[in-house]
Structure 1
Amino acid sequence: MDTDHPLRHALPPLLFAGVCFATLDATAKYLVVEHTLFVVVWARYAGQMLVVTPIAWHQRGHGFWRTKHLRMQLARSLCLVIATMCFFGSLRFLPLAEATAITFLAPMFAIVLSKAVLGEVPTMSRWISAIAGFIGILLLARPGSAVFQPAAALLVLAAISNAMYQLLTRKLPNDTPHTTLFYSGLVGTVALSAMVPFTPFPVSFSYTDVFFLVLLGTLAGLGHGMLIGAFVRAPASLLAPFMYIQMLWATLYGYLVFGHLPDKVSALGMAIIVASGVGLVVHERRLRGSAG
């Protein structure tokens, strides 16, 4: 296969998805300072459902919601809700760039959990990548750093939940991407909406609050939609290294909006996490190419 052709068509939506997700995270960090975590997470999932449901319906017809793996879809989507709540909760206390970098450890945790979930035995190169990623997180969460506080535990839990979400997604070979996208938002929307009557909401919202809460859900829907579009056009192994560009956007938002830049040691930790992920993807692509 000529990899230039699929990459040329898949890269624009993938990069746009990264911008959406980085903007989503910056918006969430802004909102959780003034609003409860529940309100912010609920707005994120409710908005995503409003965006992705018409897309899935248009692409797959009225049966877009049918799945052959309902329990698996519900379980993976619940993992995504837990990851979102932990990540957004941590953003009230932690810098955006470093928090984003730690969540990118999800593929490393997926390596560790792959045998228990999928029955796969990790290769030596995968273990090396996971260890390198762990070294990166130690540099980020070292004593005296901005991440060295209890809220960092939420980021680790978010990364583990995201890893489970990724592994369970791989066990859905018979469901279309648009069906999977629909369920990714459904569980969070239904579960959180059911709790709305029992959760205190602010008496009133300002126009600014309403704008950013709507923006939150819109960005989630657009980001996931673009991500699905990218992976439909090109293999995941080809696109994975470009997903780390999102950290550049997170760093930029962290500086422009919140006035924070990672120090040199934290930047080194972030670079190690990126290098371990990209290096593993490139290595495994070469192995598959030589095997073919």
Structure 2
Amino acid sequence: MPYCERMDDHPLRRALPLILLSGLCFSTLDATAKYLVRDHTLLLVVWARYVGQMLIVTPISWHRAGPSFWRTNHLRMQLARSLCLVVATLSFFGALRYVPLAEGSAITFLAPMFAIALSGPILGEKPTRARWIAVVGGFVGILILVRPGSAVFHPATGFLVLAAIANAVYQLLTRRLPNDSQATTLFYSGLMGTLVLTVLLPVTGTTPTAFTVRDGIFLVMLGAFAGLGHWALTSAFLRAPASMIAPFTYMQMVWATLYGFLVFDQLPDALSALGMAVIVASGVLLLLHERRLTGTMSKDASR
């Protein structure tokens, strides 16, 4: 399907609302998780997130690809990728119990930088100088954030870095699935989290004995925002090139900062805001470089 059927129908016009909606959903998901992990076990919160995602994305995948939507040419790769997402979620939600939402979200945006560093051993790629500059810039930002006396100068920050690394591997493995449809990949994204955590909950004894109506509402919200966010994100990338819409994913930082202030009364100080800005700027510059590089390769291929 072409990105644009008419010359006056710019792809961003259709994709931008979806990518902004996905960022709002994921930030709302993170804020809800931070609220829930204060009173509930981490496994329960993460389980609710994945079950909700599967309940929403499975019918969507079926609708897009038909009854064989679950068939894949790379089962091990799909399961490994899905497991990476579980590790990222467990690490991120676990860290949110101790660190502010905005700063925690900023650190996870290091994932593209980690992906560059890991692209050599995983994909056999040789990063360009501009990519390495973006990596260095991202790590400068995290050093500003994780400084003595800051809100994220806490051992839990290590789990945020682990979440970013797991997300980076998740992204790289996604690039190794060229023969699977996006509907199939969307389905497998939440499969391991649903299966593994459904088994672990009764085994570890983390199933709640007392459950309030409010608890149920928030856990349902958790799954709903996860599923809706993944649907919106996938739909956006179906409607416009990744290089065009990826920079708008950083709008998620705005939502995270607002939720941190309005719900948890947490606002980044000046230096933390600077560190967050450095990380976001490094990511945006990296995306612009990738867009320029892709455009240059396309021109060369057409000659």
Number of residue-to-residue matches in the alignment: 292
- Paired amino acid for 1:79: C
Other-structure match for 2:169: 164
Tell me the distance in 1 between the aligned counterparts of 2:293 and 2:204. 52
Amino-acid identity (%): 67
Matched residue SS, 1:62 = coil
Alignment of 1:12 onto 2:1: no
Residue 288 (structure 1) aligns with: 294
Instruction: For residue 290 of structure 1, report the CA deviation from its aligned partner.
Output: 3.9
Q: Deviations over 1:113-163 (max 9, x none)?
A: 000000000000000000000000000000100000100000000000000
Structure 1 counterpart of 2:230? 224
C-alpha deviation, 1:203, in angstroms: 1.0
From the superposition, tell whether residues 251 and 4 of structure 1 become closer, same or farther in structure 2 (CA, over 3 Å).
Answer: farther
Counterpart residue number, 2:143: 138
Residues 1:262 and 2:268 aligned together: yes
The residue that corresponds to 1:104 in the other structure is 109
1:204 aligns with 2:186: no
**What stretches of structure 1 of length at least 5 have no aligned partner?**
none
Q: CA deviation at 1:284?
A: 2.6
Cα distance in 2 for residues equivalent to 1:81 and 1:287: 32
Taking the aligned partners of 1:57 and 1:261, their CA distance within structure 2 comes to 42
**CA–CA distance in structure 1, aligned partners of residues 217 and 198 of structure 2:** 20
Matched residue, 1:38: 43
Stretches of structure 2 that go unaligned for 5 or more consecutive residues are none
Aligned alpha-carbon RMSD (Å): 1.2
1:47 to 45, 48, 52: 52
* Residue number in structure 2 paired with 1:252: 258
Q: Post-superposition shift, 1:235?
A: 1.1
Q: TM-score of the superposition, structure 1-length normalised?
A: 0.98
1:149 alignment partner, one of 129, 149, 154: 154
Amino acid at match of 2:99: L
Q: What are the Cα deviations for residues 49-108 of structure 1, in whole angstroms up to 9, with x where unaligned?
A: 111111111111110100000000000000000000000000000000000000000000
Amino acid at match of 2:249: M
Displacement after TM superposition at 1:239 (Å)? 1.0
How many Å separate the matches in 1 of 2:124 and 2:289? Answer: 22
Q: CA deviation at 1:199?
A: 2.5
Q: Hey, what's the Cα distance between the residues in 2 that align with 1:67 and 1:234?
A: 25
- For 2:97 and 2:128, how far apart are their aligned partners in 1? 37
**Where does structure 1 differ by over 3 angstroms across 4 or more consecutive aligned residues?**
1-4
* Cα offset, 1:202, TM superposition: 1.9
Distance 1:83 1:44 in 2: 13
- Counterpart-to-counterpart distance in 2, 1:19 and 1:284: 25
Match of 2:133 among 128, 137, 148: 128
- The one-letter amino acid paired with 1:94 is V
